[in-house]
Amino acid sequence: MIDANSQFFAILTNVGRAKQANADALGIAWKLTEMGVGDANPGGLADPPNPIPSADQTKLLNEWRRKPLNQLRVDPVNSAVIIAEQIIPADEGGKWIREIGLYDADGDLVAVANCAPSFKPLLSQGSGRTQVVRMNFVVSSTGNITLKIDPAVVLATREWVLAQILEELSKLDIKQSVRAATTANINLVGLQVVDGVSLNAGDRVLVKDQIAAKDNGPYVVAVGAWVRAKDADNSTKVTPNLTVAVEVGATQADTIWQLVTDGTIVVGTTALTFKNITDGFARLFSPTFSGNPTAPTPAQFDSSKSLATTEFLKRRGFEYSGFTTSDASLVLSSSHVGGLHSFSSATQLTATLPPTAGVAQGATITLASAGPGGLKIVGSGSDVVYTSTGVAGPLVLALGDTAEFIRLQDQWRLVGGSVMFRFAGTMGGAHFTTQPQFDNGKALATTEFVQRAQGNFSGQTTITTSATTLTPALAGRRIVGALAGTWTLPLLTASPVGSKFYIQNSSSGDIVVNRQGTDIIVALAKTVNSVIIPAGSAGVLVCGETNWVFEEGPAALKYSTEFASSISGSGWAKNANGLIEQWGSGVTDANGYVYVTFPIPFPNAPRNITPMHVGSLCLMHAVMGANLVASGCTLRVQNQSGAAQAGWQVYWRAIGN
C-alpha cells in the first residue's frame, strides 16, 4: 500500500553494474535501447504492495509495455545521473504504471525503478493522454553510455524538440543580440553600469575587452557571478566569425561585432578577439569598401554627385596637382591649374595664366619666382589679373616671391603667396598685437612696443594718497606723488628684471619708499630698507635680479660715495669734484691750545681751516705752524694782551681734498 512513508528510487541491476564496469574498463560503448513499464501486480490484486527495486532483478514483476527510448541524456545539474525517457502515446494504456525497467541492446534488464502509481488510460476511455516516463539513475561514469534508437518508431516530447532546436540555433554564428557591450576590462560579477547602461539580472552583455581574452564572449548578467550565454557556452557554439549586435550604449549602441579568432576554439582557454564590423562591409544604403577600389575619374571641373577619385581631388587643388619648373617664358593651360609652377632665369620671364574660359570658378594656380630676373604674370587675351585690392594689371614677382591666384568670372585674382602682403591692409593698419612690456624674444615689435623700449614714458600716473603700494604695471610710467607719505614697492619676484619705477615728488614733504618682505634696496653704496625722495626731487628704482637698485635721479645722490657725508656736531661732507668739508669744536687748555683731529683724514691735505671763538671777548686765533696736516692740527687762542686761559669754546671749519 502506498502512503507518505513510501520510497521511490532507481538502481542498476547486477547485470547493469557488470556491463557498465566492462564498458568503462574496455572503453567500449554500452547501448541502452528500450524502456519497459509494468503494474507490479501479477496476482491482479485490488491494492497491490509497492514494489521495491532489487539489483537481482532480471525482469519486471508484471511488464505490460516495452518500447524504444526516445531520449537518453546526462542530467545538466548532476553529471553522474543518467536520464532515460520514453513516451507512451494516447492510444496505448488501460493499465497502471508502478515499475519501470531499462534494457540494453542485448535485451538485459540493466536498471529498475519503482514509481508512484499512475493509471495510463486509453483514448477509448475518454481520457486521451500522452504519458512521458522518465527514469533517473546514478552511474559511476557516463562516458561510454550511448542511446541506440530507431527514429522511425520513437516519439519526441515538445520540450525535447524545443531543446534540440535551441541547441542547433545556438550553434549558428549569428547570435541573439546583447543589450550592451563592454569598453574595458571589468569584473564579471554583480549588477553594474557598462557603457552607460545600468544592467539588470538576465541582460545579455558582450564582454570583449578582458585582459585575459579567454574570458571574452557573450554573458548573462547576474547578481552574483556572470555566466556565459546559453548560445555561447561551449566550443560547438563558439566558432570563428561568430557575430553579435549591440542594442544600446553610450558608444557601442547599434554596433556589430565579429569573432575574428581563427582555428579550433576551446571556450575558457582560447583567447577570443572581437572586431567592430558595423561599417566593415559594403551595404546597399551606405557602402564601405576595403582594399583599393577604383572608379572612373569625372571631368576636371565636374560638380555633380559622381564619385571623386584621388586623381580628381589632385586636380581640384586640395593639394598641388603637380609641380613644374621652367627657365623660359610660358603660356599656361588648364592642365596647369591646381599645380605649383616655378620660373627661374637671370632675366625676367613672363608667365601667361590659363584662359579663364576653360577653367572652373574657384580653381587655383600658384606661381613662384626662383630666379634673380624675376617673373611677370599676365592674363590670357582679355582676361584681367587683379591684386587682392582690386588693382588691375600685370604683377611682377621678385626672387623668392610666390603668388596664388583664384579664377573668378573673367579674371585671375591674387589671394595668396608672399607677394600678397604688398597689398594687404594688415601691413598698413593697426592690426598687430603689442607684446608684453619686457618681452625680449623675436616677435614683431609694434610702434607702441618701440616707444616704451626707447625709454619714453608709456604714460603718467599721479598718486594723491599718503600711503600706497606700487604695482608692476606702473613700471615704465612717470609716477608723480602729489602728497607726502610712505609708499611700498612691489615684491621683487612680481616684477620683471630691469623694470623701472620713476618717482617725482611734487609735494612739500618727503616720500619714503619701502621694500616688501625680505627684499632689500641697494642705494648706490648702501644697502637699506627704504629710500627718501625729498620734496621737489625725483628718483628711479630698478628691479634687479636679487634686489631693488636706487641709482638714478637727484634723490639718489646722497647715497653715492662721491656725495657721502656724516652730519653731526663733528662731521664731514664730500663733493663729486673731490672737495671735502669737515667741521667740529674744541675747548682751550690752560695755555690756550685746542687740539683738532679731523673726523676723517683728508686724502691729500687740508687747504684751509677757520676757527671761531664763542663768547663775549674778542680773541685772536692762530694755527700752530706745521701742525696743519691731513689728520688734524693745533689751534692757539689768546686775548689782545696775549693772555690765554682754559675753557674757551672754539668752533672750526676745514676744507681740503
Lowest mean pLDDT segment, chosen from 283-287, 382-386, 408-412, 419-423: 283-287
pLDDT in tens, 147-163: 443 444 445 556 656 66
| pLDDT of the residue at 399 | 95
CATH classification number, 457-556, choose in 3.90.550, 3.30.70, 2.20.28, 2.60.120: 2.60.120
Task: Pick the closest to residue 624 from 613, 632, 633 (CA basis).
Answer: 633
- What is the topology classification, in CATH, of domain 310-424? Jelly Rolls (2.60.120)
Which is it for strands 478-481 and 500-505: parallel, antiparallel or unpaired? parallel
Q: What contacts 65, CB < 8 A, 6 or more positions away?
A: 36, 37, 38, 88, 92, 95
Residue 444: pLDDT above 80? no
Nearest-angstrom CA–CA distance, 375 and 385: 14
Q: 566 versus 285: which is more confidently predicted?
A: 566
Q: How far apart are the first and last CA of the chain?
A: 148
Q: What is the mean pLDDT of residues 165-169?
A: 69
Give percent of the chain above pLDDT 70: 89
| pLDDT of the residue at 642 | 79
Q: 448 versus 639: which is more confidently predicted?
A: 639
Q: Which three cell numbers stand for residue 113?
A: 525503478
| pLDDT of the residue at 74 | 84
pLDDT in tens, 70-93: 888 888 788 788 889 998 888 899
Mean pLDDT of the chain: 86
Counting beta carbons within 10 angstroms of the beta carbon of residue 485, is it exposed (0 to 12), middle (13 to 18) or buried (19 or more)?
middle
Q: What is the mean pLDDT of residues 645-651?
A: 87
Angle at 209 between CA 205 and CA 211, to 5 degrees: 130
Q: What is the mean pLDDT of residues 572-586?
A: 88
Task: Write phi, then psi, for 313 (nearest 5 degrees).
Answer: -65, -35
Domain ranges of the chain: 10-156, 172-293, 310-424, 457-556, 571-656
Give percent of the chain above pLDDT 90: 50
Confidence grade of residue 178 (pLDDT, cut at 50, 70, 90): very high
Identical topology for domains 457-556 and 571-656: no
| pLDDT of the residue at 318 | 64
Confidence grade of residue 104 (pLDDT, cut at 50, 70, 90): very high
Task: Pick the closest to residue 599 from 586, 588, 612, 590 (CA basis).
Answer: 586
| Full-model pTM | 0.36
pLDDT in tens, 456-468: 788 899 999 999 9
Task: Pick the closest to residue 219 from 200, 240, 202, 239 (CA basis).
Answer: 202
Class of domain 571-656: mainly beta
Specify the long-range contacts of residues 629-633, CB closer than 8 Å, at least 24 apart: 629/605, 630/598, 630/601, 630/602, 630/603, 630/604, 630/605, 630/606, 630/656, 631/597, 631/598, 631/601, 632/595, 632/596, 632/597, 632/598, 633/596, 633/606, 633/609
| pLDDT of the residue at 130 | 83
Q: 393 versus 464: which is more confidently predicted?
A: 464
Q: What is the mean pLDDT of residues 371-389?
A: 91
Q: What is the mean pLDDT of residues 516-529?
A: 90
pLDDT in tens, 179-214: 999 999 999 999 999 999 999 999 999 999 999 999
